[in-house]
Structure 1
Amino acid sequence: MSGNVQLLSEALAAARAENRAALIAYLPAGFPTVDGGIAAVRAVFDGGADIVEVGLPHSDPVLDGPVIQTADDIALRGGVKIADVMRTVREAHEATGKPVLVMTYWNPIDRYGVERFTAELAEAGGAGCILPDLPVEESGGWREHADKHGLATVFVVAPSSKDARIATITEAGSGFVYAASLMGVTGTRESVGAQAKDLVRRTRATTELPVCVGLGVSNARQAAEVAAFADGVIVGSAFVKRLLDAPDQEAGLTAVRDLAADLADGVRRGRAGA
């Protein structure tokens, strides 16, 4: 099976053809429950997300802020397994036909087995993986299996990355490049700032891949700000917080659907005046 990396590329190209950034949402698998997590992914797609990243909950999520850590903890206490992550990908993709990636730290894949993980993700219809803590120099084995199964490998660049380092990272990646808008952990911010714009400029100088910006975007105004210069806007903590704050599951699903619709409007406004 070839996987759905082509679907990912098509979703990003379709947004570009509409002169807008793509909206990419992040939600952890197994939160608030496995079924609830699947319903949440479908809800953000219903609201207008183009692509969803499904997080593989981890006990030590070093790049994630308190909101996502709280959700991961709930998922892990609920007994979430890699099989549940694959089921989330499969059911969300089958229900919507849209691209679904997995975002995970390297350790769970290493323990599970790279060949097994890539084969199962491709079979589930997954478009690829975002691997924030896998050094490019150590990624050869992963990329070989990912390529075999038609999966994208998305690497992360940061404002601290030197230009030569960015070039090394983008040369090894596929699908898109994840540009972390600021130094630090995930979470909502008052301003996404000029660092992100400069990072996108420097990253584009090294690659033809779309450059998508994450970390800190939580509302339509910020989404529009980032959409003015990026190929995609990635939002995670704001969705997770809506689910955490909701009094029940239905209210949570409504909240994330409404936020997706608001953000989808934001990414469309981003270049309207440009």
Structure 2
Amino acid sequence: MDFWPEFLASSSGREFVAGGFGGTAGVISGYPLDTLRIRLQSSKNGSAFSILKNMVSKEGPASLYRGMAAPLASVTFQNAIVFQTYAVLSRAFDPSDSTKDPPSYKSVALGGIGTGALQSLLLSPVELVKIRLQLQNTSQSKESGTSPVKVAKNIWRKEGFRGMYRGLGITVMRDIPSHGFYFWTYEYIREQLHPGCRKSGQENVNTMLISGGLAGVASWVCSYPFDVVKTRLQGQTPSSLKYLGICDCIRKSVKEEGYHVLWRGLGTAVTRAFVVNGAVFAAYEFTLRFLLNNENIKIQETI
């Protein structure tokens, strides 16, 4: 038995591969804005434009892509797992036994919530390394190393397993609601823009881009304060330890900078979310259709 043909012929296999392509497209399209978001969340002052100008002039344009190797290397697998897990869970939560009808919106939201909880275990160490690299040359991080592997080894050597999973709790708190809103919004908006497409699987590229973009915006708006806290917790090293935990980080950040600090960088995050998730879902849907069409052609040739 050939593994790949059999794997791609299964529903899980197609969703796994399509999710991987979607994740890769999302990272490449939105990484500079993600770096800018991290810098905004960690700084006490400065607008997005001033920080961007300062980074490009002092560190060069390449600084906007610093640390991209870590999520790019892992996001294909991580996003593949996310979409495959979501497909399984959304069906598992659906009371209907019909495989022809799409899962209910309630099942979609519950599948997203379960997916967010599970994927946090994969995502937390990756985002830790990415944030340490993105914050290099700032006062927030003293991390050494110029590559994801070196930074990961340094964290493991100094902080151990616990250090690699610093911020796991806040990552779970962020991803559970965000993924529920994420998949629910995508399915709801695409059906509103193109009625019947959830069952037929046929919609145009504009529907995919807009639905995916708005899904990303919704997921960030509902969970953004958690992300700010996560960035601050994961950005600190043992030599620059400032926050003792989630509550301590919120209390000190609000006391020093006001409640608006919990929403700092939201504009950049929302802009990035629309671009990235439009690309993610478009790449996912196109890849899924390509694999389905190829499978249909093979079945017809066999017959």
TM-score relative to the length of structure 1: 0.26
Larger radius of gyration: 2
From the two aligned structures, give the one with the greater helix fraction. Answer: 2
TM-score relative to the length of structure 2: 0.24
